[in-house]
Structure 1
Amino acid sequence: MSIVEAIIFGIVQGITEFLPVSSTAHIVITQLVFGYTFPGLAFEIYLHIASVLAVILFFRKDLWNVITGFFGYLSNRSEENRVSFFFGLYIIIATFITGGFGYFLSDFVADSIKTPAFIAGALTVTGFALIFIERFHKYGNRSEKDMTFLDSIIVGLGQTLAVIPGISRSGSTLVVSLLLGLKRETAVRYSFLLAIPVILGSSVLALDELSTGFINQIGVMPLIVSFVITFIFSWIGIVWLIEFIKRSKLVYFAVYCFVVAALVFFMLDPGTVMDVE
């Protein structure tokens, strides 16, 4: 892999990982544009680790408050830690639901839906969902203290939809959270904190993909460059999404999904099976 390719892949992964536009679809499109095929899933896992590191550092205070509050409540049942405890519990519940259902559903994600036509359709569905939540649904005002176990179960199920190629993980969790009446700030915070265990968990399960051969195939310098670039642009993507949510501009992401869907459908062979594992 050249340094230029490493930079481009890092930018694409970083900027799209947390935006509701499906990073998987973008990585696949980028591979096709450059005629480059990754050696297994190792490189994608590697870039995901850079993305999740950006989330951990950006939300380090929130993460620390949830962790300390969670264990603090377990030890003394203090009222001041109650909200953090249950918020952490809701993250755990949603993660287990996503992991459990995602594991079983992944076996049923047949090659027939890993085509440009299907991915274009999934991106279009994402776009319409974003338009609906933006234009036709009244935003709620429920915060962390108002969340329930049912919320975490439904969001976990919604997040599971990301196993479908072209469905955005962040987009599905945001849409479902907002539909449940969570206020925008809470929905964004919940979505980002949910990304940490989900991405780390999927990365750990695929660690066997990482090997010396992977390093030799990609190259040491491209790996370093792509990791740094992914981290930087993941941070930019996080900040960007938070600002967009504050201004209620999800419709722009919807338009973008439609544009990408059209490009995928009309510029790629609709019947080609795409490697989007």
Structure 2
Amino acid sequence: MSLIEAIIFGIVQGISEFLPISSTAHIVITQLMLGYTFPGLSFEIFLHLASVLAVILYFWKDLWEVIRGFFAFLFRRSTEDKPLFFFGVYLLVATFITGILGMLLSDVISDAMKTPAMIASALTVTGLALIFIERFHKTGSKDESSMTMIDAILVGLGQTLAVIPGISRSGSTLVVSLLAGLNRETAVRYSFLLSIPVILGSTVMALDEFTAEMVTYIGPLNLFVAFVVTFFFSILGIIWLIEFLKRSKLIYFALYCFALAIFVYLYIDPSTVIDI
């Protein structure tokens, strides 16, 4: 891998990770276009670590407030910390559901689903879901203090759909959160914070895939550069998405998903089996 290609992978991962457009689909498409094959998820998860570090640093105040409030209510039972305690519980519940079902479904996802046609179909579904939530569903008013356990369960189930190549994790959590009646600000915050345990958990599960062969294949310098670039563009992606959703519509992401699906369908060899 050349240094330029490492930078390209970092930019693609960083920009696409938190936008509702499926970072997995973008990494796979980039691999195919550049002619690379990375066995398993080792490289993708390595880049995900850079993205989750960006979330932790950007939302460190929110994260610390949830952790502080969680343990403060747990030990002191203070009324003012109760909403933060339950918000923390809802993050754990959604993560647990995603983790358990994700492990079960990952064995069910056959090679027949790891194809360009499947990615194109999943991107189309993501686009349709974004259009539905934007045009045909009234935004709710729930915030973190009025969320319920049912909301957390639904979001956890929705997030599990991201095991399907081309289904966006951020997109699915945003759509289900809004369907559950959360206001847009809370849905976005919940989605970002939820990415932290999910990505860290998937990294732990894939530690055995980080081998010397993988490092040699990509190159230590290229891995470092890809990590730094991913981190930088993840920060940009987070800031841009938050500001974008304050004044614009999810439908633009839907149109992008449709365009990308058409590109995959027309220009990626349909017989390709993707190793993810």
Q: TM-score, normalised by structure 1?
A: 0.98
State the AA in 2 paired with 1:268.
I
Structure-1 separation of matches of 2:94 and 2:143: 17
- 1:63-85 per-position Cα deviation (integer Å, ceiling 9, x unaligned): 00000000000110001111110
Structure-1 separation of matches of 2:3 and 2:272: 28
For the residue of structure 2 that corresponds to 1:145, the secondary structure is coil
State the AA in 2 paired with 1:240.
W
Q: Which residue number in structure 1 is paired with residue 226 of structure 2?
A: 226
Equivalent pair of 1:13/1:27 in contact (CA under 8 Å): yes
The answer to whether 1:197 aligns with 2:197 is yes
The answer to whether 1:61 aligns with 2:45 is no
Structure-2 separation of matches of 1:113 and 1:205: 22
For the residue of structure 1 that corresponds to 2:145, the secondary structure is helix
Structure-2 separation of matches of 1:132 and 1:44: 30
Deviates more, 1:228-237 or 1:203-212: 203-212
Equivalent pair of 1:52/1:199 in contact (CA under 8 Å): yes
Shift of 1:159: 0.3
Q: How does 1:88-99 map to 2 (within 5 A)?
A: 88-99=88-99
Q: How many residues align?
A: 276
- 1:144-184 per-position Cα deviation (integer Å, ceiling 9, x unaligned): 01000000000000000001111000000000000111000
Structure-2 separation of matches of 1:86 and 1:136: 30
The answer to whether 1:179 aligns with 2:179 is yes
Shift of 1:271: 3.2
For the residue of structure 2 that corresponds to 1:144, the secondary structure is coil
Q: Which residue number in structure 2 is paired with residue 216 of structure 1?
A: 216
Q: Which residue number in structure 2 is paired with residue 162 of structure 1?
A: 162
For the residue of structure 1 that corresponds to 2:38, the secondary structure is coil
For the residue of structure 1 that corresponds to 2:141, the secondary structure is coil
Equivalent pair of 1:98/1:157 in contact (CA under 8 Å): yes
Q: Which residue number in structure 2 is paired with residue 19 of structure 1?
A: 19
- 1:168-206 per-position Cα deviation (integer Å, ceiling 9, x unaligned): 000000000001110000000000000000000000110
Equivalent pair of 1:98/1:160 in contact (CA under 8 Å): yes
The answer to whether 1:140 aligns with 2:140 is yes
Q: Which residue number in structure 2 is paired with residue 239 of structure 1?
A: 239
Deviates more, 1:78-87 or 1:239-248: 239-248
Structure-2 separation of matches of 1:203 and 1:34: 25
Shift of 1:17: 0.6
Q: Which residue number in structure 2 is paired with residue 35 of structure 1?
A: 35
Q: Which residue number in structure 2 is paired with residue 131 of structure 1?
A: 131
Equivalent pair of 1:14/1:230 in contact (CA under 8 Å): yes
Structure-1 separation of matches of 2:70 and 2:105: 31
- 1:102-157 per-position Cα deviation (integer Å, ceiling 9, x unaligned): 11011111111111111101100100110111111111111001000000000000
State the AA in 2 paired with 1:21.
I
Q: How has the CA–CA distance of structure 1 residues 58 and 38 changed in structure 2, closer, same or farther, with 3 Å as cutoff?
A: same
Shift of 1:45: 1.6
Equivalent pair of 1:54/1:234 in contact (CA under 8 Å): yes
Q: How has the CA–CA distance of structure 1 residues 224 and 239 changed in structure 2, closer, same or farther, with 3 Å as cutoff?
A: same
- 1:200-251 per-position Cα deviation (integer Å, ceiling 9, x unaligned): 0000110111123322221121111101100011111111111122124111
Equivalent pair of 1:134/1:248 in contact (CA under 8 Å): no
Of all paired residues, the percent bearing the same amino acid is 69
Structure-1 separation of matches of 2:99 and 2:79: 31
Equivalent pair of 1:134/1:249 in contact (CA under 8 Å): yes
Q: Which residue number in structure 1 is paired with residue 46 of structure 2?
A: 46
State the AA in 2 paired with 1:234.
S
Structure-2 separation of matches of 1:52 and 1:101: 21
Equivalent pair of 1:39/1:217 in contact (CA under 8 Å): no
For the residue of structure 2 that corresponds to 1:146, the secondary structure is coil
Structure-1 separation of matches of 2:198 and 2:90: 13
The answer to whether 1:258 aligns with 2:258 is yes
Q: Which residue number in structure 2 is paired with residue 121 of structure 1?
A: 121
Q: Which residue number in structure 1 is paired with residue 83 of structure 2?
A: 83
For the residue of structure 2 that corresponds to 1:271, the secondary structure is coil
Shift of 1:52: 0.3
Shift of 1:39: 4.6
Q: Structure 1 unaligned runs (5+)?
A: none
Structure-2 separation of matches of 1:221 and 1:40: 21
Q: Structure 2 unaligned runs (5+)?
A: none
